[in-house]
Amino acid sequence: MGRIEWVFYLLIPASILIHVFVAPYTKVEESFNIQAIHDILIHGIPNENAEQFFTANYDHISFPGSVPRTFAGALILSGLSRPWIWLVRSPQQLQLLVRSVLGLLNAAALVYFGQGVQRAFGRSAAVWYALFQSSQFHIIYYASRTLPNMFAFVFSTIALKGILDAHSNQFKPGSAARSYRLSLYLLTFAGVVFRSELAILVGTLTIYLLATRPISIPKVIIPAGLGGLVMGLLCTIPIDSYFWQSFPLWPEWIAFYYNTIEGHSADWGTSPWHFYLINALPRLLLNPLTYLLCVPVALVNPVSRQRSLDLLIPLLSFVGLYSFLPHKEWRFVIYVIPGLTAVAAAGAAWISTRSAKSGAYKLLTVGLIGSIVLSFAASTALLGISSLNYPGGEALTTLHHQLPHPEGRPLRVYLDNLACQTGVTRFLEVHNGPQTVMDVLEAQDFANHKSWGYSKTEDPEVLLDPRFWDNFDYVLAERPEKVIGSWEVVHTVYGFSGISFLRPGEGLGKGSTTDENAAAHYTDRVAAVWATLEEKLRYPLLRGYWVKLNMQPKIRILARRPIGI
């Protein structure tokens, strides 16, 4: 492969790492895996007295969730991150390292799939694929986030490459069958271990192959399905039975039974049947020309039609079948985006290679380039906005590093529900005394000289007991009026609360926060950048129209008021 493709491919890992460092905190959906990774890295895995060890040190015992989740992804990511610990100097940086490793795994899978795009559709398509993919916000933003879907995404993306490779190797005896077998195997494995919805994709791909290819069921379908099932069970059951201290335990089956068969997924909300097609997929693809122009062109073009259908039919059938479930989230169908992007890239390549022959194609090519520039701009804006959604992480970091603390005695902090949902993780906590893998890091951390304790209890009866609040020096609270006792607000963290569309003459031109005195440090920097953009772009370029970021107080840091005040 020529070097030019790699110049564009490198945009994918570079974009992912930028997103990691601009938005370093996590949300509640990522909580189980990020806490599990922390516990494995910090406390290690016990050789004996496992139940007592987990109870004393592991987060999942105190906060098990509605159903158990697999430790397989956390264990793998912990192992891959451990050799690089020497690069970081604090637990907070270790969280960034862990997320970077996962992001680079997904980047490698996306680049690997891009090589399949190059073989199937040509070099020009590979370049367009890299540009489309790296400018899609959701894929790049979530590639480093420890959602179960993003662990499964590594396997599903590699599996999609097998579909493209099979078409490229159709004239090599047995090669196509091996590619299909590997694809089905990887999807089955990922479905068994990480996300059960991939079983539907296995089904749609299997049916499509049986209907369109001379596929041997005994040599391809059964070995792939049985192999993926057995290897997946051999991976998840021993690992999760040990960590959850319950044998035999298959977490993904329990989650499937609870959410789908018993119907509890609807408890999290329902969406209309067309949500994925009308809402989720356009948002995930971001660039409207990919699905309005490029995909239709790839289907019209005889050269790319069959290879495009090989991706589109099973992927869109998966989305269609999954639409029957009432609870819908975009992350449930994120696995189809690389395939749809590949087809769009094939259409874009067909247009761009004809730009020298026709003014119409030249105009379309310029339009595609412009749409990618706009997609990068939109992704950058979304990144800035999304980084404002983690007031809990910002508040705990501010408490540790930027507020004065009394010396000579232990400090106790209560973390309320919103703080825990918007950024607080065990990586951000300050530990006292010797740990395991973090001994060296903690020795260099200023806060090792203080003893910190944390509580995240949600028991309503406990929270109504005044004696409970007497145990704390600080509280991170969304609603200070619910905190019992004599407290004072020492810091307020602001968070994103929506946008306002301004017309010419509207707004004060003071920046993008609702309050000039918004005290959050990171949000101040984002507000300053937004204000600079407003100055440069609003009237000179956009004729007075602008988008204002609205900020509201989210987390208050409360300190105990001294007696007598």
* Nearest-5° Cα angle at 182, 176 to 184: 105
pLDDT at residue 500, as a whole number: 87
Amino acid at 34: I
Q: Each residue of 303-353: pLDDT tens digit? A: 999 999 999 999 999 999 999 999 999 999 999 999 999 999 999 999 999
Task: Record the tokens describing residue 369, joined without a space.
Answer: 């380039």
Question: In percent, how much of the chain has pLDDT > 90?
Answer: 73
pLDDT at residue 512, as a whole number: 44
Please name the helix (run of DSSP H) or strand (run of DSSP E) that holds residue 541, with its range, or none: none
Q: Each residue of 119-157: pLDDT tens digit? A: 999 999 999 999 999 999 999 999 999 999 999 999 999
The model's confidence at residue 494, banded by pLDDT at 50, 70 and 90, is very high
Report the b/e string of 104-133 with b at 16+ CB within 10 A.
Answer: bbbbebbbebbbbbbbbbbebbbbbbbbbb
pLDDT at residue 522, as a whole number: 64
Q: Once rounded to an integer, what is the mean pLDDT over residues 288-309?
A: 96
Please report where in the chains the tokens 């680049």 appear, as a residue: 111
| Residue 232 burial by Cβ neighbours in a 10 Å radius (0-12, 13-18, 19+) | buried
Q: Each residue of 422-456: pLDDT tens digit? A: 999 999 998 654 455 545 455 444 344 457 889 99
Q: Each residue of 191-243: pLDDT tens digit? A: 999 999 999 999 999 999 999 988 889 999 999 999 999 999 999 999 999 99
C-alpha to C-alpha distance for 513 and 314, rounded to whole angstroms: 45
C-alpha to C-alpha distance for 545 and 538, rounded to whole angstroms: 6
Q: Each residue of 165-179: pLDDT tens digit? A: 987 766 666 788 899
C-alpha to C-alpha distance for 477 and 465, rounded to whole angstroms: 16
pLDDT at residue 499, as a whole number: 87
Strand 546-560 with 411-415, pairing: unpaired
Quick check: 501 and 520 in contact, CB under 8 A? no
Q: Each residue of 362-394: pLDDT tens digit? A: 999 999 999 999 999 999 999 999 999 999 999
